[in-house]
A and B are shown apart, each in its own frame.
Chain A
Amino acid sequence: MTVASTTQLVCFVILSSTLVLGSLAVVLLPNIVYSAFLLAGVFLSVAGLYLLLNASFVAAAQVLVYVGAVNVLILFAIMLVNKKENLDPIPGMAVRRLLSAAVCAGLLVLLIRVAITTPWALPGPIPVGEDATIRIGEHLFSDYLLPFELASVLLLMSMIGAIVLARRDVFSSDIITGEPADQILIEKERSPMLLEPNDPAPLRSSP
Protein backbone atom coordinates (compact mmCIF):
# COMPACT_ATOMS: atom_id res chain seq x y z
CA MET A 1 0.00 0.00 0.00
CA THR A 2 1.58 3.25 -1.12
CA VAL A 3 1.68 6.50 0.80
CA ALA A 4 -0.91 8.09 -1.50
CA SER A 5 -3.45 5.33 -1.01
CA THR A 6 -2.88 5.34 2.75
CA THR A 7 -3.48 9.08 2.83
CA GLN A 8 -6.66 8.61 0.85
CA LEU A 9 -7.85 5.92 3.21
CA VAL A 10 -7.18 8.08 6.27
CA CYS A 11 -8.96 11.04 4.66
CA PHE A 12 -11.91 8.85 3.73
CA VAL A 13 -12.25 7.46 7.26
CA ILE A 14 -12.05 10.91 8.85
CA LEU A 15 -14.50 12.49 6.39
CA SER A 16 -17.03 9.70 6.52
CA SER A 17 -17.00 9.49 10.32
CA THR A 18 -17.47 13.28 10.48
CA LEU A 19 -20.31 12.91 8.01
CA VAL A 20 -22.18 10.19 9.88
CA LEU A 21 -21.66 11.66 13.36
CA GLY A 22 -22.53 15.17 12.15
CA SER A 23 -25.71 14.05 10.47
CA LEU A 24 -26.74 12.12 13.58
CA ALA A 25 -26.15 15.28 15.61
CA VAL A 26 -28.17 17.34 13.10
CA VAL A 27 -31.11 15.04 13.60
CA LEU A 28 -30.81 14.42 17.33
CA LEU A 29 -29.63 17.68 18.96
CA PRO A 30 -32.43 19.53 20.74
CA ASN A 31 -31.08 22.99 19.90
CA ILE A 32 -31.74 23.73 16.26
CA VAL A 33 -29.04 26.40 15.97
CA TYR A 34 -26.38 23.80 16.75
CA SER A 35 -28.02 21.55 14.19
CA ALA A 36 -27.78 24.25 11.52
CA PHE A 37 -24.08 24.86 12.15
CA LEU A 38 -23.35 21.13 12.20
CA LEU A 39 -25.20 20.86 8.90
CA ALA A 40 -22.52 23.12 7.43
CA GLY A 41 -19.92 20.66 8.69
CA VAL A 42 -21.80 17.80 7.04
CA PHE A 43 -21.91 19.69 3.74
CA LEU A 44 -18.18 20.43 3.98
CA SER A 45 -17.29 16.80 4.61
CA VAL A 46 -19.44 15.78 1.64
CA ALA A 47 -17.42 18.27 -0.42
CA GLY A 48 -14.23 16.63 0.88
CA LEU A 49 -15.52 13.23 -0.26
CA TYR A 50 -16.17 14.75 -3.70
CA LEU A 51 -12.53 15.87 -3.79
CA LEU A 52 -11.49 12.29 -3.02
CA LEU A 53 -13.65 11.24 -5.98
CA ASN A 54 -11.73 13.45 -8.46
CA ALA A 55 -14.53 16.01 -8.72
CA SER A 56 -13.08 19.38 -7.87
CA PHE A 57 -15.73 21.39 -9.73
CA VAL A 58 -18.67 19.73 -8.01
CA ALA A 59 -16.90 20.05 -4.67
CA ALA A 60 -16.56 23.81 -5.23
CA ALA A 61 -20.21 24.00 -6.31
CA GLN A 62 -21.20 22.08 -3.19
CA VAL A 63 -19.34 24.50 -0.92
CA LEU A 64 -20.71 27.56 -2.71
CA VAL A 65 -24.32 26.45 -3.01
CA TYR A 66 -24.85 24.40 0.12
CA VAL A 67 -22.60 26.04 2.70
CA GLY A 68 -22.82 29.50 1.19
CA ALA A 69 -26.47 29.67 0.23
CA VAL A 70 -28.69 26.91 1.58
CA ASN A 71 -27.17 26.83 5.04
CA VAL A 72 -27.29 30.60 5.39
CA LEU A 73 -30.91 30.51 4.24
CA ILE A 74 -31.68 27.92 6.92
CA LEU A 75 -29.96 30.07 9.56
CA PHE A 76 -32.04 33.08 8.48
CA ALA A 77 -35.20 30.98 8.69
CA ILE A 78 -34.24 29.88 12.20
CA MET A 79 -33.72 33.49 13.21
CA LEU A 80 -37.05 34.56 11.68
CA VAL A 81 -39.10 31.86 13.39
CA ASN A 82 -37.11 31.85 16.61
CA LYS A 83 -39.76 31.55 19.26
CA LYS A 84 -39.39 29.42 22.32
CA GLU A 85 -42.30 27.09 22.33
CA ASN A 86 -42.93 24.14 24.51
CA LEU A 87 -44.06 21.35 22.27
CA ASP A 88 -47.04 19.48 23.61
CA PRO A 89 -46.19 15.85 24.29
CA ILE A 90 -47.83 13.44 21.92
CA PRO A 91 -49.00 10.04 23.11
CA GLY A 92 -47.07 7.22 21.52
CA MET A 93 -44.12 9.32 20.41
CA ALA A 94 -41.60 6.82 21.77
CA VAL A 95 -43.31 3.97 19.97
CA ARG A 96 -43.31 6.00 16.78
CA ARG A 97 -39.61 6.76 17.12
CA LEU A 98 -38.75 3.12 17.74
CA LEU A 99 -40.87 1.89 14.85
CA SER A 100 -39.42 4.39 12.41
CA ALA A 101 -35.91 3.56 13.65
CA ALA A 102 -36.60 -0.10 12.93
CA VAL A 103 -37.86 0.72 9.46
CA CYS A 104 -34.83 2.91 8.76
CA ALA A 105 -32.46 0.22 10.03
CA GLY A 106 -34.13 -2.25 7.71
CA LEU A 107 -33.72 0.17 4.81
CA LEU A 108 -30.06 0.63 5.74
CA VAL A 109 -29.44 -3.12 5.82
CA LEU A 110 -31.17 -3.49 2.45
CA LEU A 111 -29.11 -0.71 0.85
CA ILE A 112 -25.82 -2.06 2.20
CA ARG A 113 -26.70 -5.58 1.08
CA VAL A 114 -27.49 -4.33 -2.42
CA ALA A 115 -24.23 -2.34 -2.50
CA ILE A 116 -22.16 -5.34 -1.46
CA THR A 117 -23.79 -8.19 -3.35
CA THR A 118 -24.24 -6.43 -6.70
CA PRO A 119 -21.49 -7.45 -9.16
CA TRP A 120 -20.32 -3.96 -10.19
CA ALA A 121 -18.44 -3.74 -13.51
CA LEU A 122 -15.17 -2.90 -11.75
CA PRO A 123 -12.63 -1.72 -12.67
CA GLY A 124 -14.38 0.73 -14.96
CA PRO A 125 -12.77 3.22 -17.33
CA ILE A 126 -9.84 5.22 -16.01
CA PRO A 127 -11.15 8.43 -14.38
CA VAL A 128 -10.36 11.62 -16.26
CA GLY A 129 -9.26 13.29 -13.02
CA GLU A 130 -8.55 16.98 -13.41
CA ASP A 131 -10.17 17.12 -16.86
CA ALA A 132 -13.57 16.47 -15.32
CA THR A 133 -14.39 20.19 -15.31
CA ILE A 134 -13.80 20.38 -19.07
CA ARG A 135 -15.98 17.33 -19.62
CA ILE A 136 -18.77 18.84 -17.50
CA GLY A 137 -18.64 22.01 -19.60
CA GLU A 138 -18.83 19.99 -22.81
CA HIS A 139 -21.80 18.04 -21.46
CA LEU A 140 -23.63 21.15 -20.33
CA PHE A 141 -23.37 22.78 -23.75
CA SER A 142 -23.97 19.76 -25.95
CA ASP A 143 -26.10 16.85 -24.83
CA TYR A 144 -27.38 18.34 -21.57
CA LEU A 145 -28.18 21.76 -23.02
CA LEU A 146 -31.96 21.46 -22.61
CA PRO A 147 -31.82 20.48 -18.90
CA PHE A 148 -29.30 23.26 -18.37
CA GLU A 149 -31.68 25.87 -19.80
CA LEU A 150 -34.61 24.36 -17.93
CA ALA A 151 -32.59 24.65 -14.72
CA SER A 152 -32.25 28.38 -15.29
CA VAL A 153 -36.02 28.68 -15.81
CA LEU A 154 -36.55 26.62 -12.65
CA LEU A 155 -34.30 28.92 -10.63
CA LEU A 156 -36.18 31.98 -11.90
CA MET A 157 -39.51 30.39 -11.06
CA SER A 158 -38.39 29.42 -7.58
CA MET A 159 -37.02 32.92 -6.95
CA ILE A 160 -40.31 34.57 -7.92
CA GLY A 161 -42.27 31.92 -6.04
CA ALA A 162 -40.25 32.43 -2.88
CA ILE A 163 -40.79 36.20 -3.05
CA VAL A 164 -44.55 35.80 -3.62
CA LEU A 165 -44.91 33.27 -0.82
CA ALA A 166 -42.89 35.15 1.76
CA ARG A 167 -44.18 38.67 1.18
CA ARG A 168 -46.39 40.18 3.80
CA ASP A 169 -48.51 42.99 2.33
CA VAL A 170 -52.14 42.75 1.25
CA PHE A 171 -53.42 44.74 -1.71
CA SER A 172 -55.91 47.45 -0.86
CA SER A 173 -57.67 46.99 -4.19
CA ASP A 174 -58.32 43.88 -6.18
CA ILE A 175 -55.70 43.37 -8.88
CA ILE A 176 -58.11 42.18 -11.57
CA THR A 177 -61.23 44.30 -11.06
CA GLY A 178 -59.72 47.37 -9.42
CA GLU A 179 -62.47 47.45 -6.81
CA PRO A 180 -61.64 47.86 -3.13
CA ALA A 181 -60.57 44.60 -1.65
CA ASP A 182 -62.51 42.67 0.94
CA GLN A 183 -61.89 44.47 4.22
CA ILE A 184 -62.44 41.30 6.23
CA LEU A 185 -59.45 39.76 4.52
CA ILE A 186 -57.31 42.75 5.42
CA GLU A 187 -58.49 42.56 9.02
CA LYS A 188 -57.64 38.89 9.05
CA GLU A 189 -54.21 39.71 7.72
CA ARG A 190 -53.59 41.96 10.69
CA SER A 191 -54.48 39.16 13.05
CA PRO A 192 -53.13 35.64 12.49
CA MET A 193 -55.45 34.04 10.03
CA LEU A 194 -55.68 30.35 10.57
CA LEU A 195 -55.19 30.18 14.31
CA GLU A 196 -57.45 27.72 15.99
CA PRO A 197 -60.10 29.45 18.08
CA ASN A 198 -59.49 29.14 21.76
CA ASP A 199 -62.81 27.43 22.27
CA PRO A 200 -63.63 25.36 19.22
CA ALA A 201 -66.81 23.98 20.70
CA PRO A 202 -69.24 26.56 19.17
CA LEU A 203 -67.80 25.89 15.72
CA ARG A 204 -68.30 22.20 16.08
CA SER A 205 -71.83 22.49 17.45
CA SER A 206 -73.09 24.81 14.72
CA PRO A 207 -74.86 22.88 11.96
Chain B
Amino acid sequence: MTAEAIPLQAYLTVAAFLFCIGVWGLINSRNAVRVLMCIELMLNAVNLNLMAFSNYLDGQLVRGQVFAIFVITVAAAEAAVGLAILLSLYRNRETVDMEKFNLLRW
Protein backbone atom coordinates (compact mmCIF):
# COMPACT_ATOMS: atom_id res chain seq x y z
CA MET B 1 0.00 0.00 0.00
CA THR B 2 2.97 2.29 0.35
CA ALA B 3 4.33 1.58 -3.10
CA GLU B 4 2.98 4.78 -4.64
CA ALA B 5 3.09 7.37 -1.87
CA ILE B 6 6.79 7.29 -1.00
CA PRO B 7 9.45 6.08 -3.42
CA LEU B 8 12.05 3.55 -2.36
CA GLN B 9 14.79 6.04 -3.13
CA ALA B 10 13.53 8.38 -0.39
CA TYR B 11 14.14 5.72 2.27
CA LEU B 12 17.56 4.92 0.82
CA THR B 13 18.48 8.62 0.88
CA VAL B 14 17.45 9.03 4.51
CA ALA B 15 19.46 5.93 5.42
CA ALA B 16 22.46 7.31 3.53
CA PHE B 17 22.25 10.55 5.53
CA LEU B 18 22.06 8.63 8.79
CA PHE B 19 25.01 6.41 7.84
CA CYS B 20 27.23 9.31 6.81
CA ILE B 21 26.46 11.26 9.99
CA GLY B 22 27.37 8.14 11.94
CA VAL B 23 30.67 7.74 10.09
CA TRP B 24 31.59 11.39 10.65
CA GLY B 25 30.80 11.13 14.35
CA LEU B 26 32.74 7.89 14.65
CA ILE B 27 35.86 9.53 13.23
CA ASN B 28 35.59 12.82 15.13
CA SER B 29 34.18 11.96 18.56
CA ARG B 30 36.58 12.21 21.45
CA ASN B 31 34.22 10.76 24.03
CA ALA B 32 34.18 6.96 23.92
CA VAL B 33 30.46 6.77 24.77
CA ARG B 34 29.66 8.95 21.78
CA VAL B 35 31.63 6.58 19.57
CA LEU B 36 29.34 3.74 20.67
CA MET B 37 26.31 5.93 19.96
CA CYS B 38 27.59 6.60 16.45
CA ILE B 39 28.00 2.86 15.85
CA GLU B 40 24.35 2.42 16.84
CA LEU B 41 23.38 5.15 14.36
CA MET B 42 25.19 3.35 11.55
CA LEU B 43 23.53 0.03 12.43
CA ASN B 44 20.14 1.75 12.35
CA ALA B 45 20.88 3.12 8.89
CA VAL B 46 21.67 -0.38 7.64
CA ASN B 47 18.48 -1.69 9.24
CA LEU B 48 16.44 1.03 7.55
CA ASN B 49 17.87 -0.02 4.18
CA LEU B 50 17.04 -3.67 4.88
CA MET B 51 13.47 -2.84 5.85
CA ALA B 52 12.93 -0.65 2.79
CA PHE B 53 14.18 -3.38 0.45
CA SER B 54 12.07 -5.93 2.31
CA ASN B 55 8.92 -3.89 1.77
CA TYR B 56 9.45 -2.76 -1.80
CA LEU B 57 11.32 -5.60 -3.50
CA ASP B 58 10.56 -8.66 -1.36
CA GLY B 59 7.02 -8.06 -0.17
CA GLN B 60 5.92 -11.68 0.06
CA LEU B 61 8.90 -13.33 1.78
CA VAL B 62 9.89 -10.65 4.26
CA ARG B 63 13.53 -11.75 4.51
CA GLY B 64 14.78 -8.23 5.11
CA GLN B 65 12.77 -8.01 8.32
CA VAL B 66 14.32 -11.26 9.58
CA PHE B 67 17.76 -9.87 8.80
CA ALA B 68 16.88 -6.67 10.63
CA ILE B 69 15.92 -8.67 13.72
CA PHE B 70 19.28 -10.44 13.65
CA VAL B 71 21.07 -7.12 13.24
CA ILE B 72 19.17 -5.73 16.25
CA THR B 73 20.26 -8.78 18.28
CA VAL B 74 23.91 -8.36 17.34
CA ALA B 75 23.69 -4.62 18.03
CA ALA B 76 22.37 -5.26 21.54
CA ALA B 77 25.20 -7.73 22.23
CA GLU B 78 27.72 -5.27 20.82
CA ALA B 79 26.42 -2.44 22.99
CA ALA B 80 26.65 -4.56 26.15
CA VAL B 81 30.21 -5.74 25.49
CA GLY B 82 31.32 -2.33 24.23
CA LEU B 83 30.11 -0.55 27.34
CA ALA B 84 31.73 -3.18 29.56
CA ILE B 85 35.03 -2.65 27.75
CA LEU B 86 34.54 1.10 28.14
CA LEU B 87 34.00 0.73 31.90
CA SER B 88 37.11 -1.35 32.44
CA LEU B 89 39.08 1.03 30.22
CA TYR B 90 37.86 3.97 32.29
CA ARG B 91 38.84 2.16 35.46
CA ASN B 92 42.38 1.70 34.17
CA ARG B 93 43.02 4.99 32.41
CA GLU B 94 40.71 7.36 34.35
CA THR B 95 39.61 9.01 31.13
CA VAL B 96 37.17 8.53 28.24
CA ASP B 97 39.18 10.58 25.77
CA MET B 98 39.75 8.49 22.65
CA GLU B 99 43.02 10.30 21.95
CA LYS B 100 44.52 9.02 25.21
CA PHE B 101 43.92 5.35 24.35
CA ASN B 102 47.17 5.01 22.47
CA LEU B 103 48.85 1.96 24.03
CA LEU B 104 48.70 0.11 20.72
CA ARG B 105 49.86 3.03 18.62
CA TRP B 106 52.68 1.96 16.34
Interface residues of A, Cβ cutoff 8 Å to B? 1, 4-6, 8-9, 12, 16, 19-20, 23-24, 26-27, 32, 35-36, 39, 42-43, 46, 49-50, 52-55, 57-58, 61-62, 65-66, 69-70, 73-74, 76-78, 80-81, 83, 85, 87-88, 90, 96-97, 100-101, 104-105, 107-108, 111-112, 115-116, 120-129, 132, 135-136, 139-140, 144, 147, 151, 154-155, 157-159, 161-163, 165-166, 168, 192-195
Determine whether the beta carbon of A62 is less than 8 Å from that of B72. Answer: yes
Collect the chain B residues with CB atoms within 8 Å of residue A107's CB. Answer: 19-20, 23
Known: A53-B51, A132-B65, A144-B66. A194 touches B93 (CB 8 A): yes
Which residues of chain B (7-63) have a CB below 8 Å from chain A?
A: 8-14, 16-25, 27-34, 36-38, 40-41, 44, 47-48, 51-52, 54-63
Determine whether the beta carbon of A19 is less than 8 Å from that of B14. Answer: yes
**In the bound complex, what is the Cα–Cα distance between A39 and B79 (angstroms)?**
14
**Residue in B6, B27, B48, B92 with the greatest tally of chain A CB atoms within 10 Å:** B6
Interface residues of B, Cβ cutoff 8 Å to A? 1-6, 8-14, 16-25, 27-34, 36-38, 40-41, 44, 47-48, 51-52, 54-63, 65-66, 68-70, 72-81, 83-88, 90-97, 99, 103
Chain B residue nearest to A126 in the complex (CB): B59
Collect the chain B residues with CB atoms within 8 Å of residue A105's CB. Answer: 20
Determine whether the beta carbon of A161 is less than 8 Å from that of B66. Answer: no
Which one, A52, A74, A100, A147, contacts B70 given CB within 8 A? A147
**In the bound complex, what is the Cα–Cα distance between A105 and B60 (angstroms)?**
35
Determine whether the beta carbon of A42 is less than 8 Å from that of B57. Answer: no
**In the bound complex, what is the Cα–Cα distance between A168 and B51 (angstroms)?**
41
Q: How many A-B residue pairs have CB under 8 A?
A: 264
Determine whether the beta carbon of B73 is less than 8 Å from that of A154. Answer: yes
Determine whether the beta carbon of B65 is less than 8 Å from that of A74. Answer: no
Known: A16-B14, A121-B57. A100 touches B75 (CB 8 A): no
Offer 11 A-B interface pairs, CB within 8 angstroms, sorted by A: A23-B41, A36-B37, A43-B44, A65-B75, A76-B83, A104-B24, A111-B16, A136-B66, A144-B66, A158-B78, A194-B103
Which one, A36, A61, A81, A121, contacts B87 given CB within 8 A? A81
